């Protein structure tokens, strides 16, 4: 015993020192090297003695439990019934003592898991006794909490864990089915226990011996609600007193609901107790609502989520149950806002959000229109009452606390989720043949909701202005149009990061998708009202000579004018929500509505231009911030409606109708933008709005030659050529956006213009002059014959590269005339950039910018630059990779190094995918670079770069398939043979990569090559690489290196094996099992024999999973037997 105590003491001290923060890494290595000396600690009883020692801290406990698990696992396959029972009782008692002593839950759960695993290895009689004893413990009040935890862990271990190596596959599946059968008994038991705890509040107790007349979920909830109303605080007290036990029971129910057979779930109406619990937190007419009740409700909602994800049997489930439950939930929110303070309302919304996300969309198929009508009633009461729920969120408009902001976010997010479901349903029905228009939300509901949100928008902006950066006002509008296209995607992400005004705008956008007519009528009415107020304000304050100067006005008058301008801004933002993609509202009525709105907006824009755009800012006085913000919104409205303006312009050009009027709309928007850009007093958000608006008009609408004849535009071009705008800040892309819009308008084709109408001869000289001006420094750098010091060249390269990339990006998909014009100007960039690349190869920041430039140059203008330049580029890249200076710079794992390698792969991918025969001569050189110097640099790089690299390999093999996949391996020339061998070796190494995603990409590329070129059936692959790939994939499965890819790898092996199944099962796979897995010849033959009748891929894949499991089992048994 003395020896045991000394070993125990040394063991504890070693582990404590390893886990100590003060221990150096060198010391840890020494301690870990000495750990094998303590391997004598392997006796189960001695390990339990360590675990029961009061001086053992958590690291010692967890390390010892892991050692105990390994010891028991090695014994179980050979242990008799008595030994298994002894092991189980030992671990069970240990977990019980840990639970009583309040040890960490992770240790308790691990011990429970070990005990459950021991039972899984028992015969059926012992397993039945095990679950019977657990059933008995749950019925006893004293042992119930521990037994429920044990049950939850046991079910998860039996049913959801597939990592048991010490049982054959068939036995593992049998015990899983046994546990599912046992779970049904416990499901009924847990439901019965919960109903006993709440018996006073329920219609009847469970299990129901006799079903009362009219028993359904509606009756259950009705009785429950009436009982609660008369119970005062009794229910809350019951929940608080039993909170820990109820939480345990509901958590266990959630696990059981994933396991229990479907038909058992609805026996004796036992689901009703879950519905009752889920309803608790939303029954807001009952006071008080305690946080404990809300937490219990959330656990019940998780149970319902498990129910909703099960594949229900039509015979076993009444579909109306969930529908009636949801109807009760939402209809009982009618009187919600009248007696609640903000925290309670927030708790309710939190649960309502859970319901909306979990059930509303999934049950949309079964929800009648009457359900949606309940929402109108609820909203009418909230909007028309003095206790507006949104007003409850805001105690002081100028000072919102974070809790109120979160409540508003939850409110909007909840409604966005429900509206998304409505939109999805509408689109699904609309795509069906002979579909009829159906109204899913009453028009008066949409109108009331939209009006409420619109009127809150200005108030939210007041609260938001103090904390919101100025540029966010621009961002809100910029995101409206793009978010419209992806309304049903990333809704949660947008709300989590948005501001209060953006919440309202998002929901308004969704409402417009549901009912455009009502939203348009409301917003346009508000636009006319606010526009009239703003017009009167401008006339009286800024044009009325007798009015008091703004700087000396009364504070109430200033506040009123600011409020009127703010309201007008908000309405314009709401109008932007109604823009959306043109094809979303493919109807003549909406076309006309948008035209009328833009015409009216042009009138207001002209008023603002006369009043503010051409006057010094000093005349704005105290209204400067408000006026500038309004001007920003006015400009960005044109940007949102640019697709519609383009449609109007195209229609006018084709039909000749309203040609002058539409041209006036275009010229008004451009004049407003150029007025800002000409005036040096404007900067920041207004300049940004002007540039973005101008870019949308020039590049989206692409108006004809009258634009170039406008004095304002001529002046803008001349000022750009003269370098006036080089000082613009480009941290948000303002300068580059301005240059790109001006330059590319000159070379992009004008819509509906043919032949001479395009005026190429007039536009090209201006384009060349402009580009040479804005990139003058870079032209000088590439033209110089002398080397420029890095300190002088780096700023020029970093400034010019993003602009060149932006210029090329917008013309990538354009025609030959556009690209040729661009090439004529940018031709010097080709060879000049290659020279700079070699000159500054030791500076990764320059290399990154230059490679990004070359990547875009090649993608856009590769046909114009031709084969000779591309060959020179690939040779330069080869030299660069072989350079010691460059390679040393990439050794550091920095973002710059990663970006450089990403650019490398992109450039080579562009060359490889060219279909022209002229470029095929470059492929051998590219292949040599990829499998040579580049491979050595990439394999230690970031995971995403490695994945892109493997995709590049697949593209090269596709491009060289005729050279690689010849009828006979003897016909392969030496170069192609060596290339293919290198590719296969790299692919094989990628399968066993530690990074899961890399292995997935490799397998995907192999399957892609088979789909396109029948890789797995090619004679070259079969004769030289087939066995190696099968062995690598199989050993990867057996070693469980990529468990998540089990299905992918099994399917891949099935595709490989099925064409020649006999050879695979009789020769190839048995040999791999014997040599790589240590199986005997008889074991391998028996396992492979299961696959002989699996001629189809799905059947083979399913059977193969069992073969893989049992191969691992046999390997373990062999090793244990040898030991």
Determine, yes or no, domain membership for 660: no
Residue 435 CB coordination number (10 Å): 11
Residues 6+ apart with CB under 8 A from 403: 342, 343, 346
What whole-number distance in Å separates Cα of residue 95 and Cα of residue 417?
Answer: 44
* pLDDT the model gives residue 1011: 94
Determine, yes or no, domain membership for 919: no
Residues 6+ apart with CB under 8 A from 513: 419, 423, 426, 487, 580, 584
CA distances from 437 to 41, 428, 445, 511, 1074 (A): 75, 12, 18, 17, 66
3-state SS, 657-671, equals CCHHHHHHHHHHHHH
Contacts 24+ apart (CB under 8 A), 536-539: 537/561, 537/564, 537/565, 538/607, 538/611
- Eight-class DSSP state of 741: H
* pLDDT the model gives residue 425: 73
Give me the helix-helix angle, 144-155 and 124-139, nearest 10°: 140
Helices (H), 932-1025: 933-938, 943-959, 961-964, 974-991, 996-1013, 1019-1024
What whole-number distance in Å separates Cα of residue 505 and Cα of residue 644?
Answer: 20
- For the chain, the domain total comes to 1
CA distances from 549 to 615, 619, 804 (A): 16, 9, 49
Residue 220 and residue 280 in contact, taking contact as beta carbons nearer than 8 Å: no
Determine, yes or no, domain membership for 688: no
Determine, yes or no, domain membership for 1032: yes
As a residue count, the chain comes to: 1123
Determine, yes or no, domain membership for 746: no
Determine, yes or no, domain membership for 610: no
pLDDT averaged over consecutive 10-residue blocks of the chain (1123 residues)? 62 75 80 65 77 75 85 86 91 92 90 92 89 93 93 89 80 89 87 84 76 75 75 77 88 85 64 73 52 77 71 44 62 45 55 61 51 45 39 36 60 76 76 63 76 75 50 41 33 43 83 86 92 88 57 77 88 87 63 89 89 70 83 91 88 85 90 83 79 90 86 89 75 80 91 84 92 93 86 92 92 91 92 91 90 93 92 90 82 81 91 87 91 86 90 94 88 90 93 85 94 93 93 92 89 93 94 93 94 92 93 88 72
3-class secondary structure, 315:
coil
Residue 336 and residue 283 in contact, taking contact as beta carbons nearer than 8 Å: no
Determine, yes or no, domain membership for 1053: yes
**DSSP states of 259-308 as a string?**
TS-HHHHTGGGTHHHHHHHHHHTT-TTSS---HHHHHHHHHHHHHHHHHH
3-class secondary structure, 447:
helix
What whole-number distance in Å separates Cα of residue 133 and Cα of residue 141?
Answer: 14
> Token pair for residue 898?
């990663």
Residue 238 and residue 290 in contact, taking contact as beta carbons nearer than 8 Å: no
What whole-number distance in Å separates Cα of residue 915 and Cα of residue 955?
Answer: 12
What whole-number distance in Å separates Cα of residue 362 and Cα of residue 355?
Answer: 11
Report residue 762 CA to chain centroid gap.
47
Domain that holds residue 1098: 1025-1123
Determine, yes or no, domain membership for 1056: yes
Residues 6+ apart with CB under 8 A from 150: 95, 112, 115, 116, 134, 137
């Amino acid at each position: 015993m003395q020896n045991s105590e000394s070993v125990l003491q040394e063991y504890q001290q070693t582990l404590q020192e390893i886990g100590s923060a003060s221990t150096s890494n060198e010391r840890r290595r020494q301690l870990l090297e000495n750990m094998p000396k303590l391997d004598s600690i392997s006796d189960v009883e001695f390990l339990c003695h360590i675990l029961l020692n009061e001086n053992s801290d958590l690291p010692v406990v967890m390390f010892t439990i892991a050692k105990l698990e390994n010891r028991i696992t090695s014994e179980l396959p050979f242990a008799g019934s008595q030994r298994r029972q002894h092991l189980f009782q030992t671990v069970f008692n240990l977990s019980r003592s840990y639970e009583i002593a309040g040890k960490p839950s992770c240790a308790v759960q691990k011990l429970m898991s070990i005990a459950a695993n021991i039972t899984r290895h028992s015969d059926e009689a012992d397993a039945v006794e095990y679950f019977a004893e657990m059933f008995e413990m749950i019925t006893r009040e004293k042992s119930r909490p521990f037994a429920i935890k044990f049950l939850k862990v046991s079910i998860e271990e039996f049913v959801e864990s597939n990592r048991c190596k010490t049982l054959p596959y068939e036995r593992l599946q049998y015990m899983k089915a046994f546990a599912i059968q046992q779970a049904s008994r416990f499901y009924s038991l847990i439901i019965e226990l919960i109903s006993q705890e709440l018996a006073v509040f329920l219609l009847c107790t469970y299990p129901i011996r006799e079903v009362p007349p009219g028993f359904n979920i509606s009756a259950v909830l009705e009785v429950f609600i009436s009982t609660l109303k008369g119970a005062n605080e009794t229910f809350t007290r019951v929940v608080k007193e039993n909170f820990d036990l109820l939480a345990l029971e509901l958590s266990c129910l959630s696990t059981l609901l994933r396991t229990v057979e479907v038909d058992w779930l609805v026996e004796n109406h036992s689901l009703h107790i879950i519905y009752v619990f889920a309803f608790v937190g939303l029954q807001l007419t009952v006071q008080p609502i305690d946080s404990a009740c809300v937490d219990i409700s959330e656990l019940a909602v998780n149970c319902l989520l498990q129910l909703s994800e099960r594949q229900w049997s039509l015979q076993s489930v009444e579909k109306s149950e969930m529908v009636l439950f949801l109807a009760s939930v939402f209809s009982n929110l009618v009187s919600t806002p009248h007696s609640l303070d903000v925290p309670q309302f927030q708790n309710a919304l939190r649960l309502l959000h859970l319901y909306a996300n979990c059930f509303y969309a999934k049950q949309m198929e079964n929800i009648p229109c009457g359900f949606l009508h309940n929402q109108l009633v609820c909203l009418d009461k909230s909007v028309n009452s003095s206790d507006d729920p949104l007003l409850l969120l805001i105690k002081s408009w100028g000072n919102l606390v974070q809790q109120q902001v979160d409540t508003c976010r939850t409110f909007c997010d909840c409604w966005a989720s429900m509206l998304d479901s409505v939109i999805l349903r509408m689109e699904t029905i609309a795509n069906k043949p002979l579909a009829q228009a159906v109204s899913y939300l009453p028009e008066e509901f949409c109108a009331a909701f939209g009006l409420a949100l619109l009127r809150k928008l200005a108030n939210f902006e007041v609260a938001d202005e103090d904390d919101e950066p100025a540029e966010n006002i621009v961002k809100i509008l910029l995101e409206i149009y793009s978010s419209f296209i992806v309304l049903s995607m990333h809704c949660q992400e947008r709300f989590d990061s948005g501001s209060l005004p953006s919440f309202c705008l998002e929901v308004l956008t969704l409402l417009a998708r549901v009912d455009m007519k009502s939203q348009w009528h409301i917003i346009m009415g508000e636009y006319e009202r606010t526009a009239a107020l703003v017009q009167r304000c401008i006339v009286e304050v800024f044009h009325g000579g007798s009015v008091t100067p703004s700087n000396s006005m009364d504070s109430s008058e200033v506040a009123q004018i600011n409020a009127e301008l703010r309201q007008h801004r908000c309405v314009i933002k709401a109008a932007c929500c109604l823009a959306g993609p043109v094809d979303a509202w493919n109807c003549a009525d909406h076309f006309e509505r948008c035209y009328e709105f833009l015409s009216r907006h042009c009138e207001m824009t002209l008023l603002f231009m006369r009043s503010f755009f051409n006057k010094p800012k000093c005349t704005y006085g105290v209204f400067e911030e408000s006026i500038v913000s309004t001007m920003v919104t006015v400009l960005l409205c044109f940007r949102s409606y640019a697709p519609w303006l383009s449609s109007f312009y195209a229609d006018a050009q084709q039909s000749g109708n309203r040609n002058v009027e539409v041209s006036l709309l275009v010229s008004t928007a451009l004049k407003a933008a150029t007025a800002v850009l000409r005036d040096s007093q404007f900067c920041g958000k207004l300049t940004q709005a002007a540039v973005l608006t101008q870019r949308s008009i020039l590049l989206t609408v692409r108006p004809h030659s009258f634009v170039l004849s406008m004095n304002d535009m001529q002046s803008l071009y001349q000022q750009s050529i003269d370098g006036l705008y080089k000082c613009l800040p480009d941290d948000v892309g303002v300068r580059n956006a301005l240059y790109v819009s001006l330059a590319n308008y000159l070379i992009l084709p004008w819509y509906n213009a043919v032949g001479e109408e395009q005026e190429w001869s007039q536009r090209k000289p201006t384009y060349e002059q402009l580009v040479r001006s804005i990139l003058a420094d870079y032209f000088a750098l590439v033209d110089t014959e002398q080397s420029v010091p890095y300190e002088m060249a780096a700023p020029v390269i970093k400034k010019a590269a993003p602009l060149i990339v932006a210029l090329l990006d917008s013309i990538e998909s354009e025609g030959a005339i556009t690209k040729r014009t661009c090439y004529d100007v940018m031709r010097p960039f080709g060879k000049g950039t290659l020279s700079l690349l070699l000159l500054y190869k030791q500076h990764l920041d320059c290399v990154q910018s230059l490679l990004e430039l070359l990547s875009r140059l090649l993608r856009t203008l590769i046909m114009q630059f031709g084969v000779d330049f591309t060959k020179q580029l690939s040779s330069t890249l080869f030299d660069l990779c072989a350079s010691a200076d460059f390679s040393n710079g990439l050794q550091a794992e920095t973002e710059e190094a990663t970006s450089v390698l990403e650019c490398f792969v992109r450039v080579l991918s562009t060359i490889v995918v060219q279909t022209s025969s002229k470029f095929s001569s470059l492929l051998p050189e590219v292949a040599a670079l990829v499998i040579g110097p580049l491979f050595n640099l990439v394999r230690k790089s970031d995971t995403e770069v490695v994945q892109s690299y493997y995709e590049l390999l697949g593209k090269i093999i596709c491009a060289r398939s005729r050279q690689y996949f010849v009828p006979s391996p003897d016909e392969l020339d030496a170069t192609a043979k060596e290339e293919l061998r290198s590719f296969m070796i790299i692919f094989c190494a990628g399968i066993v990569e530690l990074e899961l995603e890399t292995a997935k990409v490799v397998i995907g590329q192999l399957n892609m090559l088979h789909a396109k070129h029948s890789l797995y059936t090619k004679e070259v692959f079969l004769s030289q690489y087939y066995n190696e790939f099968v062995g690598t994939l199989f050993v990867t499965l057996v070693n469980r290196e990529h468990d998540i890819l089990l299905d992918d790898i099994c399917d891949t092996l099935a595709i490989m094996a099925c064409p020649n199944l006999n050879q695979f099962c009789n020769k190839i796979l048995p040999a791999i099992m014997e040599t790589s897995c240590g199986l005997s010849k008889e074991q391998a033959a028996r396992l492979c024999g299961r696959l002989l009748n699996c001629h189809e891929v799905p059947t083979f894949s399913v059977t193969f999973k069992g073969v893989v499991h049992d191969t691992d089992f046999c390997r373990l048994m062999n090793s244990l037997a040898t030991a």
